[in-house]
Amino acid sequence: MRTLGTAACPPYHIAFVIGGTSAETNLKTVKLASAHYYDELPTEGNEHGQAFRDVQLEQELLEEAQKLGLGAQFGGKYFAHDIRVIRLPRHGASCPVGMGVSCSADRNIKAKINREGIWIEKLERNPGQYIPQELRQAGEGEAVEGRP
């Protein structure tokens, strides 16, 4: 984790994937795990080789990340918001390990393309509504117009 440094704007969402039937499967799982797509996986494996989240290792790695002193901008303990560790079934002759990072902004949207069309997740159009009224300042409600 230390070699990541601060180039990608910490605090990060970090994902480690251990295993997988191929390097490609591992890396696809890394991307989805860094976007919290697999948060509902079981927390232990079974005799059939199901994928699972290793929550104990996640906690240990998060504690190590906090000790790095590579927080946002000028250092500190907030190198990572969270860490996901996904364990996948694998072939006995190989064990790919992947690591991925999603920056603090974590801008992800879900979409699906099928025969019926393109389906894109609907996002909040007025996020400012969640700022309590007492924290709003006069003149802060104006949007900046973008170019067409």
Is 17 part of a structural domain of the chain? yes
Domain contains 136: no
Higher pLDDT, 145 or 113: 113
Alpha carbon distance 80, 64 (integer Å): 10
What's residue 139's pLDDT? 65
140 inside domain: no
| 131 within a domain of the structure (yes/no) | no
In this predicted model, what pLDDT tens digit does every residue of 119-148 receive, in sequence order?
998 888 888 888 888 877 766 666 556 665
How many structural domains comprise the chain?
A: 1
Encode pLDDT of 9-57 as tens digits. Answer: 888 999 999 999 999 999 999 999 998 899 999 999 999 989 999 999 9
| Structural domain boundaries, residue 99 | 8-121
Question: How many Å apart are CA 127 and CA 87, to the nearest integer?
Answer: 35
Average pLDDT over residues 93-97: 93
Amino acid 38: pLDDT: 94
